[in-house]
Amino acid sequence: MTSENTTAPELGAAAVTDPVARLLADLPPAWHGEVIGHGVEGWETLVEAGRDRSLRLLGLPARLRHEIAWMAHWQHLDGLKVAVAVCNQLASVLAWAAETGRQLPPSLAWADKQELLRLHGAWFHARHGRLPAEDHGRRTRFERVLTYPRLALAARLHEGAWWEMDTWHPRCDPRIPLREREPAFSVGCSPGDAHLPWVKNALKWHMGMLLESGALTWTTIVNQRSSSLLRFARWLDTLPDPAAALRDTTQAASLAAAFRQWALVPANRSSVNRPPDKVSPGKINLDLSSVADLMTFLVDHRAEAAQVLGPSPWDALTEAHPAIWLRQRTRLRRHVILSDETRYVDDHAVAQITACLPALGEPADRTITVICDGHPRALAGQDDPQLMRMLLLQILTGRRASEICLCPFDCLSPATDSAVDAAEGDAVARFRYGQSKIDAAPDTILVDAETVAVIEETTAVAARPVSRP
């Protein structure tokens, strides 16, 4: 889950000249006005079921009214059902705040999320005489509207470079460079979580340039580099004088060693929702290499850094700093590749997995009896038929999970190679999977009728509107 911080960027973002006109230009004419719904083609199919059948944005300043309408329209473009009731609740909270003399945010994009939640609590208390429960369904859905739709709004209103944003998510910001097969709905990252402004700005610029230049891909940035550099930022917060880590080279070795020891502690690497894992030397080496790469980048682009970052402690970096940090890496021994049967899923295990697959697709309120090792077993349904089909496709095709998840929607084509068809016999189509390990590697295989049937079922379900947070 990405951070929900949408603080206004600090790196020289230009002032928004006419944000209301920009939002109105994005919205179809039927989405303008204080009441939206009547006149929007297919409106009944676009909105969530419920009593609220139209957007009611009465009593709001034009800027806030258009922002809520834009977020609702973004939900539609994102493939979601428009959360009319929640958007109406947000409008009611803001209208109530205006009526009671409370200060309204000039824009939802840069408003503090916690302030908006407190305002919602005050509105709820005024109506019901109590505060909303933290796990209340409407409260949860209200928070969701303040997450992805609001992040998309912030990205749309931002006039600077995309990497100046505190939170990066391709789902919400189409400016972020992606490879052809990298999914926009993958997780995001939040370099703005770094507390020290001079650290935060350097992380944004460094990782943004790595991504724009193609030196690293989005997947690598979000899964590895951002984690390592944010860990470095948290370590700097623990120092009495964080800038000391970048000054005198005589202290660089001891400080790099101190970071290495700090990063070895599992609790310093864990997130709120994930328990700490065992820390391997390879993970520590990755952290040290990431910090050294950041230092090398800032040293090599010193003149440009002065323009982008302004005066900062990074100015004290020398060419010796990256080398000193790299010397803290551990030399790893080459592991012996195990080739015995413990490294593979044998035929018996595959048969057990296949026998139990129907339980994944069964509704959660039902049980299903499967035959496993010759004995009947009652399994509770998991209500996830798409996961069932994806695992079945892995078994039928031998592809990785990521290659199944990233395959294009129109992934089937005729098997026109007659020579291959004759050799295979049962091949009826060519399946194009999401080969993402090596860009130039083959990405198609011949598949039989059973595999084609599973793929067609999967795409038929995927074509329907889905519900995402």
Q: Count CB atoms within 10 A of the CB of residue 258.
A: 16
Residues 151 and 195 in one domain: no
* pLDDT given at position 403: 86
Residues 143 and 197 in one domain: no
Residues 144 and 81 in one domain: yes
pLDDT band per the 50, 70, 90 thresholds, residue 332: confident
Residue 5, in any domain of the structure: no
Instruction: Read off the pLDDT of residues 393-447 as tens digits, 9 standing for 90 and up.
Output: 999 998 988 888 888 888 898 886 544 444 444 788 999 888 777 767 788 899 9
**Residues 412/418/420/422 CA torsion (nearest 10 deg):** 110
Residues 225 and 313 in one domain: yes
pLDDT band per the 50, 70, 90 thresholds, residue 351: confident
In terms of residue numbers, what domain contains 84? 19-157
Residues 277 and 230 in one domain: yes
Residue 337, in any domain of the structure: no
Residues 229 and 137 in one domain: no
CA distances from 82 to 2, 42, 161, 354 (A): 21, 12, 29, 38
* pLDDT given at position 38: 87
Stated pTM of the model: 0.77
Residues 109 and 23 in one domain: yes
Residue 179, in any domain of the structure: no
Domain count, the chain: 3
Instruction: Read off the pLDDT of residues 167-203 as tens digits, 9 standing for 90 and up.
Output: 999 999 999 998 877 776 678 899 999 999 999 999 9
Residue 181, in any domain of the structure: no
* pLDDT given at position 335: 62
Instruction: Read off the pLDDT of residues 65-84 as tens digits, 9 standing for 90 and up.
Output: 999 999 999 999 998 899 99
Residues 148 and 198 in one domain: no
* pLDDT given at position 419: 43
Residue 174, in any domain of the structure: no
Residues 45 and 105 in one domain: yes
Residues 320 and 199 in one domain: yes
Mean model confidence pLDDT for the chain: 86
Mark which of 279, 307, 326 sits at the end of a domain: 326
Residue 376, in any domain of the structure: no
Element containing residue 380 per DSSP (H, E): strand 375-380
| Amino acid found at 37 | G
In the chain, the percentage of residues whose pLDDT exceeds 70 is 86
Alpha-carbon distance 362 to 381, whole Å? 4
